Amino acid sequence: MNLTLQPVVMAGGSGTRLWPLSRASHPKQFLALAGPATLFQQAVQRLQALATATIDVRPPIVVGNEEHRFLVLDQLRQVAVEPTAVLLEPAGRNTAPALTLAALQAQDQGADPVLVVTPADQTVGDAAAFTAALQRAAALAGEQAIVILGIQPDRPETGYGYIRCEGDRVAAFVEKPDAATAAGYLAKGGYFWNSGMFVLRASVWLSALERFRPDILDATRTAWKAARRDGVFVRPDAAAFHQVPSESVDVAVLERCPDSGQALQMVPLNAGWNDLGAWNAVWQVAAQDGDGNAIVGDAVLHDSHNTLVHASGRLVGVVGLDNVVVIETPDAVLVADRERCQDVKHVVGRLGQDRRTEHTLHRKVHRPWGWYDSIDEGPRHQVKRILVKPGASLSLQMHHHRAEHWIVVTGTAEVTCGDKKILLTENQSTYIPLGEVHRLTNPGKVPLEIIEVQSGAYLGEDDIVRFEDSYGRTSS
């Protein structure tokens, strides 16, 4: 019998413990931290590889948020995958409502596929072992089972939740233990790390949720029935979704199964798995030299051991450090004890309290049309590098508080300024007066790069009034 699998990729996390590389506007799942592909792309490609002569794999359903919708599409296109749908949560409500949205989307397609659910921020070293384990889990789920993937532990890890198993049956879920308890689990056996990956039919999930948490199911269905569709984007009703209780899949359903008679099975996964939850995990999966050092970018280390250095744009020198993490970006540097990387979240929390932009944005900010990099600023000026993709266009807009000078570095620019439209090529420039309606378009087949010099009393990104926009964005 043929089996239809529906991959579901949960891509809504914030990744605060991988700051300063991961930020709210560009979190870790969209970064290439372990190989040339991003973690999100790796997750999608791993699930597409499950197809066999008897297993049909649909294009993925991605669950994320509005701010990252164009990152999702761009990264899927880079790996030549067209999604079944991108479900945009109006607010973060944890994984149970997210999975419910995916199950409702899957059933709207007129079938009851097996959902293969994975976070978007994990790595796997052994692709063949991963595929074999997931195919086994899918076969069990095809017979109405709920299946969770358990990771065979190789160390007394305190950063993960555990599953206690009796054979292939899940007997209990265990919260993150202290070091002594984790060591006891490892010595005793029968305990597995909770991978956050699970496999079950859409109908099985909805039935289990109706049994254990009907309030979540009813509220999510209400938001789903009023959803708006825009191509592959599906937006549940915002007001209704804000009323959905926030709960994880584990707490809402899975942890209730062992005591309720609902069968919950575990398939072991021994495939070099890592969830890259903090910089220490990145060091663990990275290539290391003879001293245990892992280096990304331009760095020189002397008399240092078991240290991770990630240099984004500048030379980093490290002398006499052991078990340290050094992460350099254009606007922030993190130096941390490798064993205390979980505490980076406290730095991020402080940045949020202080309303600092480094909490949310990189200096280089990605937009659906390309990106901009703020390379210099002062009290009444700011200088940006701007790249516009071929065929892309910024919104038709105006600013109340700033004027702009544009200089073309490479490519061809089509500039709308007031009622005039001109073409500019390399080394040519133009001026956009304060308050003038304008637009920048790349009509060519190669990227357009310009230097923009802003001047005025206020230079914030919220000083934009949009009149037309190709990407559905509204005025700030």
CA–CA distance, 134 with 267 (Å, rounded to integer): 8
DSSP helix/strand/coil, 150: strand
Is the pLDDT score of 259 beyond 80? no
CA–CA distance, 405 with 383 (Å, rounded to integer): 10
State pLDDT tens for residues 438-455. 999 999 999 999 999 999
State pLDDT tens for residues 138-181. 999 998 889 999 999 988 888 889 999 998 899 988 888 888 99
pLDDT at 313: 87
Would you tell me how many other CB atoms lie within 10 Å of the CB of residue 256? 17
Give φ, ψ of 76 to 5 degrees: -65, -40
Range 275-292 average pLDDT: 92
Taking each helix axis from N to C end, the angle separating 202-212 and 95-108, rounded to the nearest 10 degrees, works out to 130
Q: Rg of the Cα trace of the chain?
A: 24
pLDDT at 109: 87
Strand order across the beta sheet in which 308-311 lies: 294-296, 308-311, 324-329, 332-337
CA–CA distance, 137 with 140 (Å, rounded to integer): 5
Return the exposure string of 410-438: e unless at least 16 CB atoms fall within 10 Å of the residue's CB, then b: ebbbbbbbeeeeeebeeeeebebeeebbb
pLDDT at 306: 98
> How many alpha carbons lie under 13 Å from residue 2 in its C-beta half-sphere?
8
If you average pLDDT over every residue of the chain, what do you get? 93
DSSP helix/strand/coil, 209: helix
CA–CA distance, 290 with 201 (Å, rounded to integer): 47
CA–CA distance, 419 with 430 (Å, rounded to integer): 15
> Pick from 177, 170, 196, 213: which is nearest to 116 by CA?
196
Tell me the domain boundaries of the chain. Answer: 3-269, 289-351, 364-468
The structure tokens 């050092």 sit at 293
pLDDT at 376: 93
pLDDT at 58: 94
Contact of 177 with 158, CB cutoff 8 Å = yes
Cβ neighbours for 290, distance < 8 A, ≥ 6 positions apart: none
Please give the DSSP secondary-structure letter assigned to residue 162: E
CATH topology of domain 364-468: Jelly Rolls (2.60.120)
What's at 356, amino acid-wise? R
Pick the CATH number of 3-269 from 3.90.550.10, 1.10.510.10, 3.40.50.1970, 3.40.640.10: 3.90.550.10
Range 253-279 average pLDDT: 87
Rounded to whole angstroms, what are the CA distances from 146 to 53, 97, 200? 24, 17, 5
Does the N-terminal peptide bond of residue 20 adopt cis geometry, omega within 30 degrees of 0?
A: yes
Q: Which of 90-104, 407-421, 460-474 shows the lowest mean pLDDT across its residues?
A: 460-474
Range 388-396 average pLDDT: 96
> Pick from 169, 138, 441, 149: which is nearest to 271 by CA?
149
pLDDT at 471: 85
The structure tokens 């761009």 sit at 74
Range 224-228 contact pairs with CB under 8 angstroms and sequence separation of 24 or more: 224/101, 224/104
pLDDT band at 401 (very low <50, low <70, confident <90, very high): very high
pLDDT at 106: 95
Taking each helix axis from N to C end, the angle separating 39-48 and 69-78, rounded to the nearest 10 degrees, works out to 60
State pLDDT tens for residues 72-81. 999 999 999 9
Is the pLDDT score of 476 beyond 60? no
What's at 360, amino acid-wise? T
In the chain, how many H helices and how many E strands? 11, 29
Q: Can you say how many angstroms the Cα of residue 12 is from the centroid of all Cα atoms in its chain?
A: 6
Is the pLDDT score of 475 beyond 60? no
> Pick from 402, 442, 159: which is nearest to 279 by CA?
159
Q: Can you say how many angstroms the Cα of residue 96 is from the centroid of all Cα atoms in its chain?
A: 17
What's at 200, amino acid-wise? L
Stated as kind and residue range, the H or E segment containing 299 is: strand 299-302
Rounded to whole angstroms, what are the CA distances from 19 to 24, 234, 330, 338? 9, 30, 13, 14
The tokens describing 122, both together, are 């994990």
CA–CA distance, 212 with 230 (Å, rounded to integer): 33
State pLDDT tens for residues 194-219. 999 999 999 999 999 999 999 999 99
> How many alpha carbons lie under 13 Å from residue 452 in its C-beta half-sphere?
22
State pLDDT tens for residues 94-138. 999 999 999 999 999 888 999 999 999 999 999 999 999 999 999
The tokens describing 239, both together, are 């007001």
pLDDT band at 421 (very low <50, low <70, confident <90, very high): very high
